């Protein structure tokens, strides 16, 4: 074989080798890319399943809270009205019997109102501002502490899932303030900037050490709930200086 033929053969085999190497590299990259796609899809499916699980848990908690409320209303309010109606209707005086009939009408109204809260339809029929106002009015009406609420109505446009999570997180924050902080005042302020909507929940109560594990686990749970709707939870507190909670949600 001549020198020229040897060079041509060398070039041919060298080119073939490069082609094989490039083909192997390309196939490897395609396989790696597909593996990453599968892994990312699995991660997304897992995250979606976790979010759906969290939302279902939130729904169950709200339903339990609703059932507890109905139980209290049946015992404290409707039970009392039924007793008064029974006493009035057993009276021989016409005016007392008339009072008894009025009690029955009031009882029917109360039962109808309670029946509407047996499912989560009420979540769609109420705005977040209205819910917060009702919660704060209940707290103040008990004489537990003073409350204030200011809003620029930036949370009027919410999906059902967003509203469910925010309602439950706010409930939890208010319950914690009542149980542990013993404040003189609880304030909630809603405002927005260009990209974020904020809910600030502030109390002037006892405050606590945020490094304590028992409090930390509760905060982690609230953070996870906000993350399921693309939001953010933050808390600052110091013993003797109250607690400041911020809930942020992008537009």
The string of DSSP letters for the chain reads --HHHHHHHHHHHHHHHHHHHHHHHHHHHHHHHHHHHHHHHHHHHHHHHHHHHHHHHHHHHHHHHHHHHHHHIIIIIIHHHHHHHHHHHT-SSHHHHHHHHHHHHHHHHHHHHHHTTSSTHHHHHS-HHHHHHHHHHHHHHTTS-EEEEEE--TTSS--HHHHHHHHHHHHHHHHHIIIII--SEEEEEEEE-SSEEEEEEEE-S----TTSHHHHHHHHHHHHHHHTTT-EEEEEE-TTS-EEEEEEEE-
Give the model's pLDDT for residue 21.
Answer: 79
Confidence check: pLDDT of 232 > 90:
yes
Confidence grade of residue 157 (pLDDT, cut at 50, 70, 90):
confident
Interval 108-112 mean pLDDT: 81
Give the model's pLDDT for residue 18.
Answer: 76
Interval 137-150 mean pLDDT: 91
pTM over 0.85: no
């Amino acid at each position: 074989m001549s020198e020229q033929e040897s060079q041509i053969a060398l070039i041919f085999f060298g080119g073939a080798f490069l082609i094989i190497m490039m083909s192997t590299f390309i196939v490897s990259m395609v396989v790696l890319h597909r593996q990453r796609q599968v892994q990312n899809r699995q991660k997304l499916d897992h995250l979606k399943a976790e979010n759906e699980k969290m939302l279902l848990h939130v729904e169950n908690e709200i339903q339990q809270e609703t059932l507890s409320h109905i139980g209290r209303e049946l015992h404290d309010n409707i039970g009392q009205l039924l007793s008064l109606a029974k006493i009035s209707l057993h009276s021989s005086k016409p005016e007392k019997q008339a009072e008894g009939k009025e009690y029955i009408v009031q009882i029917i109204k109360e039962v109808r109102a309670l029946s509407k809260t047996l499912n989560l339809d009420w979540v769609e029929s109420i705005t977040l501002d209205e819910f917060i106002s009702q919660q704060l009015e209940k707290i103040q009406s008990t004489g537990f502490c003073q409350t204030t609420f200011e809003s620029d109505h930036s949370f009027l446009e919410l999906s059902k899932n967003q509203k469910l999570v925010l309602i439950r997180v706010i409930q939890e924050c208010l319950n914690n303030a009542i149980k542990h902080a013993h404040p003189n005042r609880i304030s909630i302020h809603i405002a927005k900037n260009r990209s974020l909507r904020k809910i600030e929940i502030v109390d002037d109560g006892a405050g606590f050490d945020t490094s304590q594990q028992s409090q930390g686990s509760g905060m982690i749970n609230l953070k996870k709930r906000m993350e399921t709707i693309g939001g953010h939870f933050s808390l600052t507190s110091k013993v003797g200086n109250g607690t400041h909670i911020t809930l942020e949600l992008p537009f």
